[in-house]
Chains A and B, each alone.
Chain A
Amino acid sequence: MHEYASAIALRYWLKKMGYPRLIIAGFLLFLFIMAPITGSDLPTQITNVINRFSWNAVLVLAMVPMIHSGCGLNFGIPLGVLSGLLGGTLAIELGFTGPMSFVMAIVVSTPFAVLFGGGYGMLLNKIKGGEMMVATYVGLSSVSLMCIMWLLIPYRNPSIVMAYTGVGLRNMFALDSFYAGALSEFLKIDLNPLGINLVIPTGSILFFALLGLLVWAFLHTKTGTAMTAVGSNPTFARASGINVDRIRTLSVILSTWLGAVGVLTYQQGFGFVQLYTAPLNMTMPAVAAVLIGGASVNKASISNVIIGTLLFQGLVTMTPTVITALIHTDVSEVIRIIVSNGMVVYALTRKTEEAA
């Protein structure tokens, strides 16, 4: 009798978790177990995972406001990334260096994020229900438009413009004298002197925690509550006197701004700025991570973000070393593609089931 009840509970739990998530978590566990066996150093692996987590978590967090207000998965995150890139490059252009350039990058990117997010939000209000496909193409076309702009905007700073002609920004440039490590070096815990290859970028994690806390807090305010209600049932919200369009636009602006801050956080960890078509590569990892973390097309929480980023980045960082050591072939890239896109396909096919 008792066993029976627990079997039901287990099945309920399985269903709630979703098989893909369990498979991924199981696979990651397997990787962690195999890591020492294949001879790779576990603390190094953990350092890598934490590092990648600290780079990416804010970008994943940028998914949350839009999912909450019912705008679906934010395939338009390149807009936020572009605001961040504008902020970063302009801050450097204006002559800021060191950690100050990071602060200024966020400050400068904010008006762009508000502007882009506002316009994008208004567009999405006109096409309720069809957001995701349009968002994808808004992302694609804005990135290709900015490709032209990176060449046309008259940047002058020699450390970021193309070396030969002096016109147009480089494809990629290092941030060493600017905001590389602006967060990750802050209060960094380095256990190497003790003989353990473990480094924790405390500053980056604190920064993510701060933003996560802000988003969490926002969702507990009056406006945040309205946002969740709009996502849960827009007609109910409208009948309760909520201006649905305004709340949705607000959520898009928030997501876009978080995307801007997210890419700056990523760059300070990675140490480089990538321009031109690079913003397109930011979308899928973020979308996939929040889905793996347990979010659906219309529900997401901060814990989804944390769990999802850890699982996804764990997968991405561990597979190259561990699996390569196991089968002497590097299939990590393929696994990453299959897992991240498979997760999105899975999520898209599921929503109708839940609605019924």
Chain B
Amino acid sequence: MLFNSFEFLLFLPVVFTLYWFVFSQSLRWQNILILIASYFFYGWWSIPFMGLLALSTLLDFLYGFQVASPNRKRAKLFLWLSIINNLGILGVFKYYNFFAHQFQEGFELLGLHTNPVLLNVALPIGISFYTFHGMSYVFDIYRQKQKPVSNFVDYAVFVSFFPLLVAGPIERANHLLPQVQKPRAFNYSQALDGCRLMLWGMFKKVVIADSLAETVDKMFNGYQHYNGLSLILGAVAFSFQIYGDFSGYSDIALGTAKLFGFELLSNFRFPYFSRDIAEFWRRWHISLSSWFRDYLYIPLGGSKQGKAKAVRNTFIIFIVSGFWHGASWNFIAWGFIHAVGFLPLLLLDRNRKNVTDVVAQNRRLPGIRELWQMCATFTFVTLAWIFFRADTMSLALNYLKHIGQSIISQPHQLSMLEGKSTFTYIIPIVLGDWWLRRDERKLRMVRSPVIRKLLYWVMAILILSKFSSNSSFIYFQF
């Protein structure tokens, strides 16, 4: 079930009504309702794969008890079982065909012809997210940061809570589980904030991202017919399409969770205002980058075992992060490019600048230096996005080659109208984010309640005038 679907518009009020009006006096029944609703939400896409979700959930729940064992050898054994189990599920459904093809090509180079058996199975939606939920739970128990949960329903809600089930944010047990386990009372401000977040998220997705998608598809599918400037515009349009799409989804997820009394982890903090790549990764898909930092980078030694190992670990997490997004060389290349961009900051010990403050912290506008830093970072990120968006490595490289070769003129130039309409969609999101950058969780954009309500109505009308049940979210494919 998509957030931007008619079914969700019916589903949400029903669950909300049952949650607060029928089961509000019983925490246990509220959690059971959330669990049933989450499986219904997931099963709307695929009933068979509900079984996989349930199996993954059950196994990690059981592993948790063993990993909490005072016998550290036993604990480590079950930790590895959980890792193998979760990565095994990912490996089979997401990566098997990729490796099969790579082995086939490898053998072809040696002159050996093979015909590997390929799996003709759809990628279960959300698999990259709920397996990471399970692994983080088991890891935290092993590190004694978390106690195993005795109530299976509570744990299952943590793994499969429907707002975050299919595209995150990737929650942590010590953040979400306590909220599941304690009684929740309806909070007016929280619910209102949730509605605002959902509205803004839907606006970014339906009005901004889906409108830019048309230009992006044209550029990437027919790059041979466009000149360099148009292709650059296409890449910029994709930067905002993916941001609008993914941050829009996250905002809808956070907003929906607030309606039920939950606070989820923030996943985006205005990443395109970053002044360097390190800051970008502290602001983009925060739940994933922090997951890799805590469960891969730090266990590998992080930056505490010398520069060489820090560089090695950095490349590992960026490449793995790229690979997490998709079983394809272009995603690995995307991760590698970011690692290369991060490297100078790491070597010069500048990767920990700009950690707490936001650009133009106490000013309305950025300074010249900050503006230059933001533009440079955005340009780098946009060039890397070309590899992310392209279906294959060769398409990405050809796209870049065409930018270089045809920077001036070629047939089928992007019309002025399309150029203008692309910037028409980019400007509101840039202005809106700039306004919110110091206080991203509160969407009180305008002080006057009358103007604020009018703005909300205008946003709702624009959303509904472009609403299409056929448009899915980019991150669903991961």
Query: Do chains A and B interact in one complex?
Result: no
Give A contacts to B, CB under 8 Å. Answer: none
